[in-house]
Amino acid sequence: MLAQTTLLKGKVLDANNKPVAEADVFIENTAFITQTNAQGEFQLSFNLQGDFVLAVFKEGLKSERIPIQTSALPQSLIIRLEALEQMLEQVTIESERGENGLRRLNSIEGTSIYEAKKTEVIILKDIDANLATNNARQVYAKVSGLNIWESDGAGIQLGIGGRGLSPNRTSNFNTRQNGYDISADALGYPESYYTPPAEALESIEVVRGAASLQYGTQFGGMLNFVMKRGPEDKKIEVTTRQSVGSWGLFNSFNSVGGKLGGLDYYVYYQRKQGNGWRPNSGFEVDNLFADFNWQLTDKLFVCVEYTHMNYLAQQPGGLSDAFYAEDPRQSIRERNWFKVDWNLFANIIEYKFNDKTKLNIRTFGLIAGRDALGNLGLITRGDDLTAPRNLLTDDYRNWGSEARLAHYFSLGSQLGAFVVGGRYYEGHSTKQQGFANASKNPDFFYLNPENPGESDYRFPSQNVAGFIETILPLSEKITVTPGIRFEHIVTRADGYYNLINRDNAGNIIFQDTIFENRTRERSFVLGGIGLSYKPNDRMEVYANFSQNYRAINFNDIRVVNPNISVDPNIQDEEGYNADLGIRGKLKPWFQVDYTVFYLRYNDRIGAILTRELDPNTGVNRIVRRRSNIADAEIVGIESFMEVQMGQWLFKKPVHRLSVFTNIALLSGRYLNSQEAAAEGKKVELIPGYNLKTGANYKWRGLSVSGQFTAMGEQYTDATNAIASPDAVSGIIPSYYVADLSASYAWKNWKLESGINNLTDNRYFTRRAEGYPGPGIIPADGRNYYIALQFKLGY
């Protein structure tokens, strides 16, 4: 017999009796959920038998849990949420939704489904880290299994990967900001030259490979940067953060936000500059972000956002193994520069038909470019200061729109939900490569603008996609989450490259221009399914299977690089992810998340050392060739444990101490390879072990954190080469690094400081085949930072 539908009404207020808008109101362990309107009012429809617990959550306020008896259902509720942090008997009450900087995504958030998926949410305000340099090793410390490239000590670009996928500019994640794409070209070139400043972030959402059904064709999953918003209880709030650090680091972050009537706004500007650990490593960065939100009616919400970032960085280049052993701080390139200009536009519209149905439409556009200038030649050769430099110029003019409709429905006595969505995307990217002057200055112009000298291409792309994913409750504790996605992808390459042969003296003896016009059009369907079992309100066992697909990008189609060649018959990659995990709280003070995964990667694109004819000299050479190497299978265990020592030992701890351990054990092999040199070899970029562990101590406004990271050795090419003359291929040795950070908050002030690479280890995480190399890119030595924050509002 079906339970009768019931309507529960109420109002949510803060400690000052002001309405709390957009608070989540839900029944625990069910999918019954709604949000408060601008007046703090809510109506929640449900059909349940028996008593239940009503939970109310609003970021920045203390959550409430209210037991409800269906036999004595109140006509209306008044719920008050206290301030998140208040001193009571010298105990600091922390966010109940985050666990010292980490939480999981709910089954449904907004118009997205995360049931039975491996998810992590990093809460930035709860962690001690070097935010001025976006120190990824600290920020992502509790996300298990991530491989982080530390080739940018200023934190300008982010390089993270996992499960054997390259961290190069986070290109194996679908990278987003507030839910919309921010990479250079989501199809043709999914690399992220722009990363939001950590000081501007509310949280970072990480969803692994099962995200492919809702977010598109990437094996790594989805990475979403959630920006801060203006406080709803203040008309204006001004925050200023001034940071200094080693090697001339200066970072100024300033923001203003608040709520004026129906308008919620948040604007920040960041200026960052420094000299870098190595010579020829100076940088200047400017970031600007503006966010305006209007709750026009109880049902209609509109948001407009603009992001601007530009930076100029000198690049010290890579090192050979011999140079690195001699002195990892040296630089043998002083004419290499990198420039980026990024402009993102976004419009978000949400319409709430009723408590059960919501529509979200995100439209976004990118006008951006990046210029790379310098000597890309072998790092074992000196830089001829009279020779012209290589200049690579990319221009991106891309836009897209996504629509999602979420709807709750009754299935027996349980509530289910589905999300249906569609996407349209156009990419208009251009890429030129040629010769610039021989100076040491950042002169980003071609010697011959009409004919750059090496290549000139247009890479138009188009994507139409649609998906549906649903949560089907089989019982009160078990749900199944099937989904399906349709993709239509068109990628084109239209342009030319010059084939040049030279004699031993460097004179041109033959030159020819090769014109190309290629089109790849494909349509396919991806499927997946998840299963979740929740024995109680603290634990969950989950499993999922999702197909994945990755289209070749324009670097796979055409690139002129003396350190690499591209197989003209290179094909798209496909495969699937499978997860089996358990997560939750074994005790109120003991949180765990264990995952066993299997990743199948068919026709994996990789690099292999092989012999081929050098078009310039006419003789055979050993070259790093990029092609479909083989099928690959990657298996691993990702684990996370955290113990709240104070809660374990005391009921009301004055001093709080938490300890976490995050370890991943991975293994990968190549199968069915057409290249004998790769058959049965280990998949590159897989460290045998990946350990991050640390502790955090809190007392009143004081917080102190220590962290230790250890990584096993990993190969950088499919042949498992130990070393190569150009230093592009070879082993990345195992290493460890330690960090120490602290902060103290008092009234409107906050002081932060720390030391990164405490033991001053010499190590590297990357061998680059192009910029910022080629060759070994050393990680930074010991460095410090100090930041002072002041916040004022009314």
β-strand pairing of 389-411 with 357-374? antiparallel
Q: Among candidates 624, 578, 634, which has minimal Cα distance to 602?
A: 634
Exposure pattern of 714-753 as b/e (b: 16+ CB <10 Å)?
bbbbbbbbeebebbbbbebeebebbbbbbbebeeeebebb
Residue 184 lies in a domain: no
What is the per-residue pLDDT for 557? Answer: 64
Judged against a pLDDT cut of 50, whether residue 88 lies above it is answered with no
Q: Omega into 778 within 30° of 0, i.e. cis?
A: no
Q: What confidence category does residue 30 fall into, taking pLDDT thresholds of 50, 70 and 90?
A: confident
What is the per-residue pLDDT for 31? Answer: 67
Decide if 194 contacts 225 (C-beta within 8 A).
no
Judged against a pLDDT cut of 60, whether residue 89 lies above it is answered with no
User: What are the phi and psi torsion angles at 685 (to 5°)?
Assistant: 65, 30
Judged against a pLDDT cut of 70, whether residue 660 lies above it is answered with yes
| Segment among 160-169, 375-384, 727-736, 782-791 with least mean pLDDT | 375-384
Amino acid at 238: V
* Domain final residue, candidates 51, 84, 117: 84
The string of pLDDT tens digits covering residues 241-273 is 999 999 999 999 999 999 998 899 999 999 999
Distance of alpha carbon 267 from alpha carbon 236, whole angstroms: 11
How far is Cα of residue 281 from the mean position of the Cα atoms in its chain?
Answer: 25
Winning range, highest mean pLDDT, from 109-118, 164-173, 209-218, 267-276? 267-276
CA-CA-CA-CA torsion for 67, 72, 74, 75, nearest 10 degrees?
Answer: 160
User: What are the phi and psi torsion angles at 379 (to 5°)?
Assistant: -70, -15
Q: What confidence category does residue 95 fall into, taking pLDDT thresholds of 50, 70 and 90?
A: very low
Name which residue leads in pLDDT, 373 or 410: 373
Q: What confidence category does residue 33 fall into, taking pLDDT thresholds of 50, 70 and 90?
A: confident
Q: What confidence category does residue 451 fall into, taking pLDDT thresholds of 50, 70 and 90?
A: confident
What proportion of the chain, given as a percentage, has pLDDT over 70?
92
What is the per-residue pLDDT for 559? Answer: 57
Are 443 and 295 within one domain? yes
In order, the DSSP letters of 609-650 are EEEEE-TTTSSEEEEEEEEEEEEEEEEEEEEEEEEEHHHHH-
SS (H, E, C) 539-579: EEEEEEEEEEEECCCHHHHCCCECCEEECCCCCCEEEEEEE
Location of structure tokens 């949000």: 35
Distance of alpha carbon 457 from alpha carbon 407, whole angstroms: 44
What is the per-residue pLDDT for 97? Answer: 43
3 state SS of 196: coil
Record the pTM.
0.88
* Domain final residue, candidates 52, 84, 116: 84
What is the per-residue pLDDT for 52? Answer: 85
Judged against a pLDDT cut of 80, whether residue 218 lies above it is answered with yes
- Summarize the confidence of residues 132-159 as an average pLDDT: 94
Residue 663 lies in a domain: yes
Judged against a pLDDT cut of 60, whether residue 303 lies above it is answered with yes
Q: Where are the alpha helices (DSSP H) in 459-567?
A: 554-557
Judged against a pLDDT cut of 70, whether residue 505 lies above it is answered with no
Residue 198 lies in a domain: no
- Summarize the confidence of residues 385-398 as an average pLDDT: 95
* Domain final residue, candidates 61, 84, 107: 84
Are 226 and 80 within one domain? no
User: What sign for the dihedral angle of Cα 169, 170, 171, 174?
Assistant: negative
The string of pLDDT tens digits covering residues 282-293 is 999 999 999 999
Distance of alpha carbon 229 from alpha carbon 265, whole angstroms: 7
Q: Among candidates 212, 295, 306, 235, which has minimal Cα distance to 268?
A: 306
| Segment among 229-243, 324-338, 554-568, 684-698 with least mean pLDDT | 554-568
How many domains does the chain fold into? 2
What proportion of the chain, given as a percentage, has pLDDT over 90?
67
Residue 181 lies in a domain: no
- Summarize the confidence of residues 572-580 as an average pLDDT: 95
What is the per-residue pLDDT for 454? Answer: 84
- Summarize the confidence of residues 745-754 as an average pLDDT: 97
Query: What residues contact residue 750 under an 8 Å CB cut-off, 6+ apart?
Result: 743, 744, 788, 789, 790, 791
What is the per-residue pLDDT for 100? Answer: 77
Q: Which two tokens stand for residue 40?
A: 């703090």
Q: Which two tokens stand for residue 443?
A: 């002169």
Judged against a pLDDT cut of 90, whether residue 647 lies above it is answered with no
Look up the CATH number of the domain holding residue 20: 2.60.40.1120
Look up the CATH number of the domain holding residue 414: 2.40.170.20
Distance of alpha carbon 696 from alpha carbon 233, whole angstroms: 30
- Summarize the confidence of residues 361-366 as an average pLDDT: 98
Judged against a pLDDT cut of 90, whether residue 565 lies above it is answered with no
What is the per-residue pLDDT for 506? Answer: 54
Q: Which two tokens stand for residue 598?
A: 């299997």
For residue 36, the tally of other CB atoms under 10 A from its CB is: 24
Judged against a pLDDT cut of 80, whether residue 39 lies above it is answered with yes
Judged against a pLDDT cut of 70, whether residue 239 lies above it is answered with yes
What is the per-residue pLDDT for 498? Answer: 80
3 state SS of 198: helix
- Summarize the confidence of residues 389-403 as an average pLDDT: 96
What is the per-residue pLDDT for 757? Answer: 98
Name which residue leads in pLDDT, 453 or 235: 235
| Segment among 81-95, 182-196, 338-352 with least mean pLDDT | 81-95
Residue 370 lies in a domain: yes
Residue 57 lies in a domain: yes
Q: How many CA atoms lie within 13 A of 45 on its CB side?
A: 10
Residue 172 lies in a domain: no
Tell me which DSSP letter residue 388 carries.
P
Distance of alpha carbon 525 from alpha carbon 212, whole angstroms: 11
Residues spanned by the domain of 431: 222-793
Decide if 43 contacts 83 (C-beta within 8 A).
no
What is the per-residue pLDDT for 516? Answer: 84
Mean pLDDT, all residues of the chain = 89
Q: Among candidates 362, 353, 361, which has minimal Cα distance to 408?
A: 353
What is the per-residue pLDDT for 93? Answer: 32
Residue 493 lies in a domain: yes
